[in-house]
Amino acid sequence: MTDIVIAGIGQTEVGEHWELSLRELAYRAIKAATIDGGGLKPQALFVGNMLALNLSNQAHLGALLADYAGLPGIEAVSVEAAGASGAAALRQGYLAIASGMVDVALVVGVEKFTDKVGPDVEAAVATAADSDYEAMQGLTATAQAAIIMRRYMYEYSVPANGFAGFAITAHANGAGNPYAMFRKAIKPEAYARAEMVSEPVNMFDAAPNADGAAALLLTRRDLLPKSYPHPLVRIAGLGAATDTLALHDRHDPLWFQSAQLSTERALKKAGIQLDQLNFFEYHDVFSIYAALALEAAGFAERGQGWSLAANGAISLKGRIPCATLGGLKARGFPGGASGVYQAVEAALQLRGSAGANQIVGARYGLIQSLGGPASTAVSAILEKVD
């Protein structure tokens, strides 16, 4: 089998798109990816979405978006894995091509948080947790992250400002991303003054819910147009894993086992070692999740993930650059679309098109998307092809 490559990429700005519908957002990303991919025609559409049924009162997104995008008769389905939905859709697109059943697959991640406001949004996000034993008892996603973060800080003696580096790095990188929701760097003083959302999680420790859509065209390398204008980016390895849905069912709530397993599987498939990776796009919906992802992937010892942010190791010029275009924190958290945004951003890095945020000489990038507190983890390694 020849390489499976990302032929086309497209994305919308992440933010509050009150004036656009779910289908309009998705179409803008699809159109951009189709143009970028030289007009390749997909035989299958995989839609990553988390909350359309709850927030937009819309299911059956495959048929909806295929129709609206002018793709009559195409095979089209939705993929849901909470915050990892987009990455799971990417995996399904890859597998469809790898199986030989599809030559070109279109993957789109889309989310529209602003179709509802207030408590309805919080209730919708809570559906990613265990309804009977967590959400029904009033546990929100932010409160759950706060429980983990407080325990982590206690176990490993992390200072009060120990997580500041994650937000500072994300916002510094978001300033160079024209698609990011927040494009302004912040200082340590701003982090220190930030209001608490759910102690010890403050405003800068939590990514903002936002609207957005991103899309990818996948195909085999030998099917690319002869005049294909971009440096090639292939999907070198993919891995996926799950853990318990409810946090209290885990033997160790401070270890993201699914993130560890999915990373190991992606590395094995790609045939590379961890130290060959040039950057890591982690799922920093909360700062504590970024720290735990760094540890699970093997970049830091247990209890030391936070120190990589504190000492600058995750900056663009650090040992393992992370959130290179702002991550979820500065780019915004478009729910189930997040994993597709990560793939688009990683492709920009590997194409050498990341502008002021470009990592010189980048060949391998790891992206990882989480559903809930790593109840689902999907990891992918993208490679620049010489």
Please, which residues bridge with residue 281 across strands?
367
The two structure tokens encoding residue 10? 């497209």
Average model confidence (pLDDT) across the chain? 97
Which CA distances in Å does 288 have to 148, 149, 301? 7, 6, 15
Q: Considering the entire predicted model, what is its pTM?
A: 0.98
What's the number of CA atoms in the CB half-sphere (13 Å) around residue 310?
14
* Residue 165 to residue 162: CA distance in whole angstroms: 7
Mind listing the domains of the chain with CATH numbers? 4-118+209-223 (3.40.47.10), 139-205+236-385 (3.40.47.10)
- Determine the average pLDDT of the residues in 358-386: 97
Is the pLDDT at 13 greater than 70, yes or no?
A: yes
pLDDT per position as a tens digit, 124-158: 999 999 999 999 999 999 999 999 999 999 999 99
* Residue 89 to residue 274: CA distance in whole angstroms: 24
Cβ 78 vs Cβ 111: under 8 Å: no
The pLDDT score that the predictor gives to residue 106 is 98
Which CA distances in Å does 146 have to 35, 327, 337, 352? 43, 20, 24, 37
* Residue 213 to residue 13: CA distance in whole angstroms: 8
Angle at 370 between CA 63 and CA 210, to 5 degrees: 65
pLDDT per position as a tens digit, 142-199: 999 999 999 999 999 999 999 999 999 999 999 999 999 999 999 999 999 999 999 9
